Amino acid sequence: MKLYTQILIGMLIGLLAGVLVGPQGAVVSHDVLYVGTQVIMTSDAPDAAPAPHCEDVERTRIQREGSEGAFVEAEACKGWVSLDGNDVTQRRASSIGESLVASTYWIGRLFLALLKMIVVPLVFCSLTLGVSSLGDPAKLGRLGARTLGMFLCTTVAALIIGVSLANLIGPGHYLDGEDRARLLATFGADAAGKAAKATTSSGGWDSLIALVPTNPAAAIASDPVQMLPIIAFAILFGVALTRIDAAPRDAVRGVLRGIDDAMVVLVDAIMFLAPYGVAALLFKVAGTTGATVLMALLVYSLVVVIGLLTHLTLVYGGLLRFVARLPMLPFLQALRPALLTAFSTSSSSATLPVTKRCVERGVGVREETSSFVLPLGATVNMDGTALYQGIAAVFIAQIYGMDLTLAQQATVVVSATAASIGAAGVPGAGMITLTMVLTTIGVPLEGLALVLGVDRLLDMFRTTVNVIGDSTVAASVARLEGETLDIRP
């Protein structure tokens, strides 16, 4: 059975089990009373004043959130809590569901810990190799400058479209308010504070200076990891490698390639745990929130598809009309074999030979141009993946009730754009780079379980968009280079 099928099955099992027998499950009794994140400890108090419509009242001691050992008196009965000020929320949970979560959640935590373990070395090595493989910037010439410029602009446009749609439609807001409160009580209500800490800067030139790590090792060791300085260092290091002699450059690249290959082996090993990790994480999330998380997940998937279609129509359609001067529908028909291959394999690299043949024979791009643009695009151009990551980051933040600031959303754009340069050829690249983006803005990684289950289906769509993007840029660059294009059957 294919791995993505196993992950999908794990997702379904986790969601179904959570909705039925989780802490808020539909078929279990809710016999544990929580206030905030605290379990209410009850004791008999015969002199307690009776609550309205209640015969048995229990005197309780509740620790206020954020206090150090400070308890207040309250009265509880059948889920009803009387507390002065009414500033503490309550929730009922199933002791059976809590026990099941406690005995399985460690698998999800282990899966997330393994992901976080490989993010920094994998991103650094992949990004450095990706930048250094471009060659000396001074020698790339006009063709290289035009190609890289278009790839960069279309990737940024994809991210802006994705983040804008996620803010406009708000798929994470389809999670019920009470369910979100329970989710925050379970996974920690200080997530917004962590997000603010992850991207704190003074603004202006200080923000630019903050991208330069005075100590790269300290940026790696910080909590949360400072990904933007690491990305900046990797890019500068990659550019520097292009300017040194071939022998030491190849030696350094050989070491980085070896580390990168080792990380790929680790990714493959970690992904064997993915079905179980996703099931354990979603069992806790769905068991805590209830069935409304399914509606939020459905809307999220629709937003991704709408974003991909918007990017295809506006950005690629604009390039085809005003730069390549080709009609869009016949252009897509000429790419049909490549698009079908991309949709079925979810791999731009595997589709590359078919894409190259379609662009050359069906559109008329010269082999000299396609041989440069298309392989480069399969490495550094991931518009569909970038758009998906922008939407996913905002969606997960919304699920956890976090309102990302404009600076944090700009951080999403910058980090996802940089990640697309080097990580395209890595198995599970979308998941790894999304882990990096979430770490950068301080969003809880537990939210990965929500999007990982539908990742394979959405990957088919975004890979198709990636191939269309590579082909569109190839046709646009060819037109700018003075080539005569002619769409043929």
* Residues 127-140 pLDDT 10s: 788 778 766 666 66
pLDDT for 170 equals 93
CA-nearest of 425, 466, 455 to 338 is 466
- The residue whose two tokens read 């806790």 is 284
Kindly indicate the confidence band of residue 78, based on its pLDDT and cuts at 50, 70 and 90. Answer: very low
Kindly indicate the confidence band of residue 79, based on its pLDDT and cuts at 50, 70 and 90. Answer: very low
Distance (Å) of CA 421 to CA 67, 219, 350, 487: 46, 21, 18, 30
* Residues 139-190 pLDDT 10s: 667 888 899 899 999 999 999 999 999 999 999 888 877 777 767 666 654 5
- The residue whose two tokens read 């929730």 is 91
Q: Under 8 Å CB-to-CB from 175, ≥6 apart: which residues?
A: 183, 289, 292, 293, 295, 296, 398, 399
Q: Under 8 Å CB-to-CB from 301, ≥6 apart: which residues?
A: 454, 457, 458
Angle, helices 455-480 vs 367-380, to 10°: value is: 140
pLDDT for 357 equals 92
- CB burial of 426-435 (b: ≥16 within 10 Å; e: otherwise) equals bebbbbbbbb
Cα–Cα distance measured from residue 331 to residue 441, given in angstroms and rounded to the nearest whole number:
39
Cα–Cα distance measured from residue 146 to residue 148, given in angstroms and rounded to the nearest whole number:
6
pLDDT for 328 equals 95
DSSP 413: H
pLDDT for 283 equals 87
Beta bridge mates, 74: 60
Q: What strands lie across the sheet with 32-35, from one edge to the other?
A: 38-39, 32-35, 90-93
pLDDT for 376 equals 81
- Segment holding 154, helix H or strand E: helix 137-169
pLDDT for 107 equals 92
Q: In the chain, where are the structural domains located?
A: 3-98, 140-229+288-480
What class does CATH assign to 140-229+288-480?
mainly alpha
The mean per-residue pLDDT over the stretch 237-249 comes to 90
Phi, psi dihedral angles at 59 (to 5 degrees): -80, 130
Is the confidence at residue 54, as pLDDT, over 50? no
Cα–Cα distance measured from residue 79 to residue 92, given in angstroms and rounded to the nearest whole number:
7
Helix H, strand E, coil C: the string for 423-462 is CCCCCCHHHHHHHHHHHHHCCCHHHHHHHHCCHHHHHHHH
Is the confidence at residue 6, as pLDDT, over 60? yes
Can you say how many angstroms the Cα of residue 251 is from the centroid of all Cα atoms in its chain?
33
Q: Looking at per-residue confidence, does 126 or 206 come out higher? A: 126
Is the confidence at residue 439, as pLDDT, over 70? yes
pLDDT for 41 equals 38
- CB burial of 469-483 (b: ≥16 within 10 Å; e: otherwise) equals bbbbbbbbbbbbeeb
CA-nearest of 280, 203, 243, 234 to 22 is 280
- CB burial of 103-139 (b: ≥16 within 10 Å; e: otherwise) equals ebbebbeebbebbbebbbbbbbbbbbbbbbbbeeeee
Q: Looking at per-residue confidence, does 423 or 464 come out higher? A: 464
Q: What strands lie across the sheet with 58-63, from one edge to the other?
A: 41-43, 58-63, 71-77, 80-82
- Take residue 321 and report the two structure tokens written for it: 């009309």
Least confident of 41-50, 177-186, 247-256, 366-375: 41-50
Phi, psi dihedral angles at 33 (to 5 degrees): -105, 125
pLDDT for 34 equals 60
Is the confidence at residue 467, as pLDDT, over 70? yes
- Segment holding 210, helix H or strand E: helix 205-210
Can you say how many angstroms the Cα of residue 416 is from the centroid of all Cα atoms in its chain?
9
pLDDT for 425 equals 47
Q: Under 8 Å CB-to-CB from 89, ≥6 apart: which residues?
A: 35, 36, 181, 185
| Percent of the chain topping pLDDT 90 | 26
Kindly compute the dihedral angle of the four CA atoms of residues 180, 273, 23, 9, in this order, to the nearest 10 degrees.
90
Is the confidence at residue 198, as pLDDT, over 70? no
The mean per-residue pLDDT over the stretch 260-276 comes to 85
Kindly compute the dihedral angle of the four CA atoms of residues 247, 253, 254, 255, in this order, to the nearest 10 degrees.
120
Kindly indicate the confidence band of residue 112, based on its pLDDT and cuts at 50, 70 and 90. Answer: confident
CA-nearest of 397, 410, 436, 403 to 226 is 436
pLDDT for 305 equals 95
Q: Looking at per-residue confidence, does 75 or 450 come out higher? A: 450
Helix H, strand E, coil C: the string for 47-69 is CCCCCCCCCCCEEEEEECCCCCC
- CA-based angle 119:120:123, to the nearest 5? 80
Kindly report the average pLDDT of the chain as a whole number. 78
pLDDT for 290 equals 66
